[in-house]
Amino acid sequence: MSDSLNTLLAIMARLRDPERGCPWDLEQDFATIAPYTLEEAHEVADAIARGDMRNLEEELGDLLLQVVFHAQMASERNLFDFEAVARGIADKLIRRHPHVFPGGRLDGETVAIDSGQVSANWDSIKAAEKAARGEQPRRLLDGIGAGQPALARAEKLQKKAGKVGFDWNDPRAVIAKLREELNEVEAELDAGDKAAQEDELGDLLFCVVNLARHLDLDSEMALKRANAKFERRFGYIEDALSARGLQFADASLAEMEALWGDAKRQGL
């Protein structure tokens, strides 16, 4: 193990030392740290979306800390340690890439296959591993974790269903369905039923993910970029108003929309 990684592991062990550690770190458990783990994963994705490689380096360090933190807490309970985590993922990568590591050898000859075959092999090997552990799914969509972000899980559900033919063949068909779902949301606005509005809005969002998938785009990344664009343009509005000695309360919606148009024309 590298000196830097050993140092990080030693720091985490010291932070969790019952006598000499940090009170905050000692108070944490798997459940309290889990939200930070998710947050750091999203920060990594955000740095990638912004193309900020310096920030990506920092965020990957923060994410690594989360892995080290969980591993340290598990080690204290004699469940597993960081070495077991690293060894487990290394073994999994070798098992699931038999075309690169034939016979489990790191120095084996790579077998030429395309990415579609790689994905198929990965799925079949993963299924075999689960079967060996007695984890046989009863239905096709079993095993797609409910704890994932909703956009990512929607995409995985759709891909899995698509593998057996339950899918559209043309993005334009998805767009037609998107219009249908939008009309249904609008119809529920008139009805005033909040539960029905939420249900139809969910269908609309699910359909948007489906469109992204058919366009071979990442819906989560697309939304992150849209968020960043909104921040830039809204920041332009705020700065422009401030330059005029105005605050938001002093501006009409029409004035703010005009400034939004200026920001858009400037490529923000």
pLDDT tens-digit profile, the chain (268 residues): 689 999 999 999 999 999 999 999 999 999 999 999 999 998 998 898 888 999 999 999 999 999 999 999 999 999 999 999 999 999 999 999 988 888 888 887 888 788 888 888 887 888 787 778 877 767 888 878 777 888 989 999 999 999 899 999 999 999 999 999 999 999 999 888 899 999 999 999 999 999 999 999 999 889 888 998 999 999 999 999 999 999 999 999 999 999 999 999 999 9
Considering the domain 3-95 in this protein, what is its CATH number? 1.10.287.1080
3-state secondary structure string across 95-126: HCCCCCCHHHCCCCCCCCCCHHHHHHHHHHHH
Residue 46: what pLDDT? 86
How far apart CA 82 and CA 85 sit, in angstroms, is 5
Q: Tell the burial category of 91 from Cβ atoms under 10 Å away from its Cβ (0-12, 13-18, 19+).
A: exposed
Place of tokens 């529920």: 188
Calculate the alpha carbon distances from 166 to 18, 158, 218, 259 in Å: 55, 8, 20, 45
- Tokens standing for 200? 């139809």
State the pTM of this model. 0.67
Calculate the alpha carbon distances from 180 to 3, 173, 192 in Å: 58, 11, 19
Cα 62–Cα 63–Cα 69 angle in degrees, nearest 5: 90
How far apart CA 68 and CA 4 sit, in angstroms, is 13
Q: How is domain 150-217 classified at the CATH fold level?
A: Helix Hairpins (1.10.287)
Radius of gyration of the chain (CA): 24
Cβ pair 129, 95 in contact under 8 A: yes
How far apart CA 157 and CA 152 sit, in angstroms, is 9
CA nearest neighbour of 259 among 215, 20, 243 = 243
Give buried/exposed letters for 18-57 (b at 16+ CB in 10 A, else e). Answer: eeeeeeebeebeeeebeeebeebeebbbbbebeeeeeebe
Residue 142: what pLDDT? 82
Cβ pair 159, 167 in contact under 8 A: no
Cβ pair 113, 99 in contact under 8 A: yes
Domain ranges of the chain: 3-95, 102-132, 150-217, 221-265
